Structure 1
């Protein structure tokens, strides 16, 4: 009973947090409350005799209806807590629970061994289902922890070389600005010519990425100082270095103020006085040279101030765009949808910016062991199939997705709709994804196998049952680069269908033809890994070409090189 009470308390707390979240959006919040029957759920949880499991089951069906908005973390938390409470409550009177527990524990070892050997996402999904059931029953905690330790390693590694990053920032600096300062009571006017070079340097940091925009150069100033009757004509040379540091971590992007260091040295060309008399002019010369060290120190500080202001003004607009994009297009959307990686570490050394991440999800497997060695390249990615599969499950599992919305999502992500996703059909389609493994990929032995799973499909006013579409590609090296070749036409079959024994119904045959024709266009016969064209300031680095690629043991390792090279590695 204690596990049921604990589950109920978690559910009550999750509902309270959801209610508070909906209170912040009165219009939509009230609509969600009505649709999800939240008031009814809250009332059931307060009943002294306990809630009606039938009513809670009906409420759960609302939370699991597949609407895109229900993927927000606040809804997901309640759905999971509600399911846990319902399952545990029903198990109280289940006399067969010990037998089921034994079967689950006996099933795990062969499943784990099979997954070690095959890297099959379907086997991983079965392991995940067993672990989730054990947790729902509040049993087998040690077993769950053991499995999570083995299959809980980071499953994404990205490295960007310092040279590639610097190419987006390196540029000459050559500008002229007016000088108007009051230095030790002297009104200094003239022009300053700034000549230098801007570049990017990586600073060693183990708990975040630190990037320093550095500007080195000198300011040549030609000025006249006005102090009473004296006119002081001088030329100044101010070598300087300036640095603006940007810190990147899972928490966001931090932009520090610029920090310049300048040393002004002046050469007095002439001192003139408006009144007559050698005595006055000698006094002016003497006073000018006496104050020269202090004036140079003050001029250095003023130069630092101007440099800091200029660098902040020029860099902050661009860096603020980076910070906003990181927060609004990456961090916040993933947090809102409970998709943010459990581990996201940034670090830098003098050679590269490195990112390490782990995306699992509730009881989902991540990588086991160390990743393959980094491939050669200026930009390298080592992606374990579980990172993609777990992200896809978190984003799409159980969702009902219409064609129009799918196109909007792809266009938003890519900035355009690929031609192969344009539909020639007059009737729109829709898919209901299953609650697990909606889209999976498997990397092994130089091959990539992609599977798209639909629990139900709609086309026009017709509805079809579950069907899985599978396509396999193999990697091939050609003179022009790497190519993914489709091994055969995509196949569409119902889940667990055996073509040697089972037969398709008329409806299934119709859906199969529709899916194979449609996915035959999406999964093209040949996919050339074209160079990646860089934009903006990074265009000077030229296109990034695929220098090496490997698909094995669940890992995709790809290296992109900024400059063409004959030393292209083949897996």
Structure 2
């Protein structure tokens, strides 16, 4: 039985509770001043970091070839070298050496690696705190107090708040103020709803099971044949603190029996009808399955009898046998009901337990562990159910990021699946996924495919210029490498760089601006580029004279030409008809009915295609 675990990408339907906490919070007294780390505290933390990394290295060294590969992949020798430098290496240099720990690959979420990462981060926190100035601390605290008290902030103000959160977090300062600020300004940015009929369609219904049994009851040999037919449906139960799914199982089991005792054989028919209930409770961190319970009964009737005799003795024996059978119908019905309940309970409990374990492991492997490895697993994830749907709300934002500023413009509808995605989710995810990476422009197409789209490459390509022969790469910023704005019917994408690498030389940073129209066509959902890519220096708008100089002119021209060649003008996001593994074909295919972007949100609705 394939159960719809709420954390799977499709059956998991992460949606809205938006627990009415939108009022501006009251703030406690802020930290009075910078709490700087002493030189002794910094050195103690550095020694602990070196010891933690060495301990990890020793542990991996005991794991043979695989452990040696992990040591090389993590760059532990280089990290130890940075930690041991005298005078101490900069926080940025150590942070760069620690980057392999945040790549999100399977295994990085294991406790020994997380422990080593945590002890190095503790050293970096103390090192930055020792180097911080009281003036910087006061500026960032004042910014939080000023902007957090506002009823509505612009994007630029929210960016400033997030940067202040980062500064304080990296130095271990004003944790209470930072938490209160996020509580007041950050809301869930992923909202999805799944209807109960879709959850039921996700179930792999049990096949009819033949029943054949020989038993001995009150000296009689009873041979029974029939078929157990079981169906299961999902019935969400209203609960605001967790998802509660009641699996309602229905068993119909017709039986025909013959009981032989002495010279007589009695023929009976029975039908058992049972209603089973299995309660499943799910949160973002655990699931609990209660044993199946059931109610119902068996209706039995005696069809007749035969004997080994003839004549009067035959009629007498049959009359007595039928009379005894009728007298024993109640106990016989109870026995059949009891055996059927045991069979139903064992089958449902076993299959529910096994399937939930498989689904939970898939959820851990495909979603939770990679996000933990990147330090991105959201602390604020809630699941809930009402009488007809499974809901959840997710705020994908670390302690230095903000989620959505408010709830979606409209709650998800009653479609089989409906979703609301805020632009902040994509921005925050991109920061953890590619922040600080070096991305080749020629690989943009494959990167788009990795994010779920398929690049549509034009059939006619422009001739290459000599400058197109060399690789050109974008060194992404660590902070907000990609920003997305969902506007009315379109999405604006900004790519931010620290440097551009061309022909093995470093050039000044360039930002890339792209605008896409989101179009739901007859057979697919596409993002079609509007106009050309805008390439400009990050600070161009603030310059006294908005123009480029020197190397900026060269790399801007090269980058624009390369983007024209390598960046597909149209991206296929998905087919309009959705293929969802595990959905019963009899339920009918799902189609995208509405995809609309506006006010920072992308709204997605589906419909059953008949």
TM-score by structure 1 length? 0.79
Note if 1:267 corresponds to 2:301.
yes
Q: Which residue of 1 aligns with 2:429?
A: 391
Note if 1:178 corresponds to 2:178.
no
Paired residue secondary structure (1:329): helix
Q: For the residues of structure 2 that align with 1:382 and 1:344, how far apart are their CA atoms?
A: 15
Q: Say if 1:7 and 1:81, in contact at 8 Å, map to a contact too.
A: no
* Alignment counterpart, residue 208 of structure 1, candidates 242, 251, 271: 242
Distance 1:487 1:413, change over 3 A: closer
1:465-544 pair list within 5 angstroms:
465-474=508-517, 486-498=529-541, 500-503=546-549, 504-519=552-567, 521=568, 530-539=576-585, 540-544=587-591
1:298 shift after superposition: 1.1
1:281 shift after superposition: 5.3
Q: For the residues of structure 2 that align with 1:351 and 1:33, how far apart are their CA atoms?
A: 47
1:390 shift after superposition: 1.2
1:212 shift after superposition: 3.5
Q: Which residue of 1 aligns with 2:366?
A: 329
Measured against aligned partners, the alpha-carbon deviations of 1:157-205 in whole angstroms (never above 9, x if no partner) come to: 111122333344497x883613204263544323213456543322223
Unaligned runs of 5+ in 1: 45-50, 92-96, 565-571
Paired residue secondary structure (2:590): coil
1:135 shift after superposition: 4.0
1:223-302 pair list within 5 angstroms:
223-227=257-261, 230-254=264-288, 258-274=292-308, 284-302=321-339
1:250 shift after superposition: 0.7
Measured against aligned partners, the alpha-carbon deviations of 1:16-62 in whole angstroms (never above 9, x if no partner) come to: 66666652554345436763556567778xxxxxx842487754442
1:334 shift after superposition: 1.7
Q: Say if 1:246 and 1:254, in contact at 8 Å, map to a contact too.
A: yes
Note if 1:545 corresponds to 2:577.
no
1:234 shift after superposition: 0.8
Q: Say if 1:543 and 1:563, in contact at 8 Å, map to a contact too.
A: yes
1:11-90 pair list within 5 angstroms:
23=59, 26-31=67-72, 35-37=76-78, 52-54=87-89, 59-64=94-99, 68=103, 72=108, 74=114, 77-78=118-119, 80-90=121-131
Unaligned runs of 5+ in 2: 1-33, 462-467
Q: Which residue of 2 aligns with 1:556?
A: 602
Q: For the residues of structure 2 that align with 1:419 and 1:247, how far apart are their CA atoms?
A: 43
Distance 1:181 1:452, change over 3 A: farther
Q: CA RMSD in A?
A: 4.4
Measured against aligned partners, the alpha-carbon deviations of 1:210-263 in whole angstroms (never above 9, x if no partner) come to: 333433352211122244554331111112223444443212455555544341
Paired residue secondary structure (2:163): helix
Q: Say if 2:104 and 2:370, in contact at 8 Å, map to a contact too.
A: no
Q: Say if 1:359 and 1:366, in contact at 8 Å, map to a contact too.
A: yes
Distance 1:224 1:421, change over 3 A: farther
Q: Which residue of 2 aligns with 1:151?
A: 185
Distance 1:215 1:32, change over 3 A: closer
Q: Say if 1:150 and 1:369, in contact at 8 Å, map to a contact too.
A: no
Q: For the residues of structure 2 that align with 1:165 and 1:115, how far apart are their CA atoms?
A: 39
* Alignment counterpart, residue 227 of structure 2, candidates 189, 193, 196: 193
Which is worse superposed, 226-235 or 425-434? 425-434
Q: For the residues of structure 1 that align with 2:352 and 2:175, how far apart are their CA atoms?
A: 51
Aligned residues, how many?
546
* Alignment counterpart, residue 136 of structure 2, candidates 100, 103, 118: 100
Q: For the residues of structure 2 that align with 1:304 and 1:280, how far apart are their CA atoms?
A: 34
Distance 1:304 1:140, change over 3 A: closer
